[in-house]
Amino acid sequence: MKKIACVLLVLLFSVGAGAAERPYRNTVSIGVSDNLIMGTVFGVASAFGAAFDALADSTVTEFDFLPLFSLKYEYKPGRRRLGVGAEVLYSPFITNKYDKYGEPSDKCVDNIVMLLADFKWVYFSKGVVELYGNLGAGVCSIDFEDFAPSFQINPLGISLGNGHCSGFIEGGFGLKGFVSAGFEYSF
């Protein structure tokens, strides 16, 4: 009798877990990220460069960053707990140069483009709430001239919404920054 009760409980929980999963395999999302990591890297580089420029009595360079905008496609095979996809990210950044008197001497707008392969693991799905983590790795380019590796690790992502439309917020570390948010559509 205990064995039958255990089997029924396991079946009940497995059916409940399967019913809570979202039934759609394809997802397209748009989002925005804070871009703090890249801004910090270029800010530190600018500070060191400014120190050497001040010694040479020449120009000073400052960088202004805008958020990263993203477009992502994801496919969930099998039980829909795993997802694989690709993400394209874009952000312009502005380089301001000043002469030795502090007057603006040059302004340049460059473009950062990142392409990441993405792996997602859903570790909780119940009703309209989904908790997940994701990992992305790929390349980053400035004006399609210089290429460097890029990555993003988000151990905590929260998605809220019905089967088709939902909003998400992710927290992690990488070239995208610390926080990403956006909307996704599943079909």
pLDDT, residue 18, reads: 42
Contact 66, 89 (CB under 8 A): no
Domains of the chain: 2-186 (2.40.160)
Q: pLDDT tens digit string along 38-50?
A: 767 666 665 665 5
Residues 6+ apart with CB under 8 A from 42: 63, 65, 93
In this structure, what token pair is assigned to residue 166?
């939902």
The C-alpha angle with vertex 184 and arms to 155 and 71, in degrees rounded to 5, equals 80
Backbone phi, then psi, for 9, in 5-degree steps? -65, -45
Tell me the pLDDT tens digit for each residue of 58-95.
566 677 778 899 999 999 987 778 999 999 999 888 77
Distance CA 57, CA 73 (A): 49
pLDDT at residue 47 in the model: 60
Distance CA 125, CA 129 (A): 6
| pLDDT band (50, 70, 90) for residue 175 | confident
pLDDT at residue 178, rounded to an integer: 93
